Amino acid sequence: MGIVRILLTIIMIIISVIMTIVILMQEGKSQGLGAIAGSNSDTYWGRNKGRTMEGFLVKFTTGLVIVFFVLAILLNMHLF
C-alpha cells in the first residue's frame, strides 16, 4: 500500500507544478472601468470566451484544482 501512496504523492506534485504554470499563463481579470458597466459580455470576445485559449486555460485550471483537492483528500484519509 505504500507504493500507491508514493505514486499519488508524485502525481500531486506534478499536478501542483502544472497548475502553477497554467495559472501564471492566464491574463489578469482587471478590465478597468468597462467591468463596472458589464460591457465585456456584449462584445464578441465576451460571448465567445470559452472558445479562446484563455477560456481553455480557465477550464483546464478548474479541472486541475478538482483533481488536486480529490488527491489531497485521498492522501489525508490514510486509505493507502
Per domain, the residue ranges of the chain are 2-19+39-76
**Residue appearing with cell numbers 502525481:** 11
Question: 74, exposed or middle or buried, with CB in 10 Å at 0-12, 13-18, 19+?
Answer: middle
DSSP code of residue 50: G
User: What is residue 16's three-state secondary structure?
Assistant: helix
Q: How far apart are CA 55 and CA 62, in angstroms?
A: 11
Contact 31, 70 (CB under 8 A): no
Q: pLDDT grade, residue 63 (50/70/90)? A: very high
Q: pLDDT grade, residue 35 (50/70/90)? A: low
pTM of this prediction?
Answer: 0.70
